[in-house]
Chains A and B, each alone.
Chain A
């Protein structure tokens, strides 16, 4: 359908790379403030060779995946319950609004006190962030299922949990996928930040460690890895999921 859009999308990246090459030659930025592409590639190479980079990437990804499963595992069922049941909605909405305002990172101090510096605290923070990035999408998704579809399914004899699988989940899926996607994007950012403050390993932790030694090449490499990993995750998971479901059903035109 849109095979060539990938090519156009690389143009800004090339421009950015060129600017990066040229800026040190044209300005007086000190070398320790902006490493050259060569230095960053060198750091990438040594990180891969000594195994430290894959280790950090894996630590971060595993945490992200776990936080993603926990956060969405709670958010999606709860979101459905809120959308379907007035009582549940009345009971929980004020609390959720209150908690949502306390962004993921604001939980770091308490998470550290409760769980200590390390994986537990980081996981808590990102699961929290992912939960709130996702839940309202599910609620909206269920609430905007056309009434006439609900009626059609009921008149065909559906009852109880049949409504859930025949109507609610597929009907809300386009919006649920938006929730999965945004929540993972939020979670990814919160993860790196939380690792910087409360981590003992992972990409964010490694970048913060590098500050002590002015290793800007490690820092820039970390930033690039964060961005590239996200591009890959997004293309691999969500774009595929969309194409297999909501795009195929005509509920969504193919996007990014």
Chain B
């Protein structure tokens, strides 16, 4: 585990993996005349090996936050650090799972999963072997030679998650990955993600507009204000990993309480603790 960076606050339990301080991001129109502030003065810390959910209403800047950490957007002001070092452009150390799956239509499922390995120049036999392991993990070995358009939405998103994990990023950024999937598959995917995350112990930043999903998945839940997004509250979710199954949480009192608390915060009724 990395040493505690100097920036980490005194109260930090674990090292800070991603540190966001005073982040503001503007979208500027083509002609440079109109500006739209998507994030304003957002400060947030993602700890090493934690699963952080970020929840907020649609349009509050969640995708913008992911894009900024991924290195697709430049902040107008504020700082973005990964392991204490400023984030420049995009890189393989920050894997991204997009709502739109973003699989390459011209590649088979296996070749999609091994994209990052191929880009690193890993020989075919080796990367295929690794790729198949990840397909096994998501129970899609039989789809290895299919093309993405032959898969259902849920299958595509599992492939996208496998692609990100196979590339061994330091953090996984997930932008409403299950929002476009039907409700049944979504619950399965959420449980699978818990299982996979428990095994890999990767740092995950998971963005969603669904309060239920945020609480189900996260070690902590960050609540953002409606746009331009700022941090409104941070809630600890003290539910053990092994209890995170829908069949079990359905009548879990703590889950219901936390979900209600976050929901109140998102809807503006609750007050930050």
Contact = CB atoms under 8 A, between A and B. Distances in A.
Interface of A: 146, 148-149, 151-158, 162, 166-167, 170-171, 173, 245, 248-251
26 contacts: A146-B102, A151-B70, A151-B96, A151-B102, A152-B115, A153-B104, A154-B72, A154-B89, A154-B90, A155-B90, A155-B91, A155-B95, A155-B96, A156-B95, A156-B115, A156-B116, A162-B119, A166-B119, A170-B104, A173-B106, A248-B147, A249-B106, A249-B149, A250-B105, A250-B150, A251-B105
A152 B98 contact: yes
A146 B148 CA distance: 15
Contacts of A148: 98, 100, 102
Interface string B75-98: 000000000000001111011101
A250 B149 contact: yes
B98 A249 contact: no
Contacts of B106: 170-171, 173, 245, 249, 251
A109 B68 CA distance: 57
B98 A156 contact: no
Contacts of B147: 248-250
B116 A157 contact: yes
B96 A146 contact: no
B70 to A, nearest CB: 6
B124 to A, nearest CB: 15
Nearest to A173: B106
Contacts of B150: 250
Contacts of B89: 154
B119 A157 contact: yes
Nearest to B105: A249
Interface string B99-123: 0101111100000000110011000
Contacts of B95: 155-156
Interface in B147-200: 147-150, 163, 167
Interface string B231-273: 0000000000000000000000000000000000000000000
Contacts of A173: 106
A56 to B, nearest CB: 40
Contact of A155 (B94, B100, B148, B149): B94
A151 B119 contact: no
A156 B148 CA distance: 18
A175 B96 CA distance: 28
Nearest to B148: A250
Interface of B is mostly: loop
Contacts of A170: 104, 106
Contacts of A251: 105-106, 149
B178 to A, nearest CB: 16
Nearest to B89: A154
B105 A157 contact: no
B25 to A, nearest CB: 16
A154 B149 CA distance: 22
Nearest to A149: B102
A162 B103 CA distance: 16
A167 B112 CA distance: 12
B120 A157 contact: yes
- Among B103, B115, B120, B150, the one with the most A-chain Cβ atoms within 10 Å of its Cβ is B115
Contacts of A156: 92, 95, 115-116, 119, 163, 167
Given A148-B98, A155-B90, A249-B106, 8 more contacts: A146-B100, A153-B115, A153-B119, A156-B163, A170-B106, A250-B148, A250-B149, A250-B150
A19 B120 CA distance: 64
A157 B92 contact: yes
B153 to A, nearest CB: 14
Nearest to A157: B92
B92 A149 contact: no
Contacts of A152: 96, 98, 102-104, 115
A152 to B, nearest CB: 4
Contacts of A155: 70, 90-92, 94-96
A17 to B, nearest CB: 41
List the 7 closest A-B pairs by CB distance, nearest first: A250-B149, A157-B92, A152-B102, A156-B116, A154-B90, A170-B106, A249-B105
Contacts of B119: 153, 156-158, 162, 166
A157 B92 CA distance: 4
B71 to A, nearest CB: 8
A146 B92 CA distance: 20
B28 to A, nearest CB: 15
Contacts of A153: 104, 115, 119
- Among A146, A156, A248, A250, the one with the most B-chain Cβ atoms within 10 Å of its Cβ is A156
A70 B91 CA distance: 38
A127 B247 CA distance: 67
A250 B150 CA distance: 8
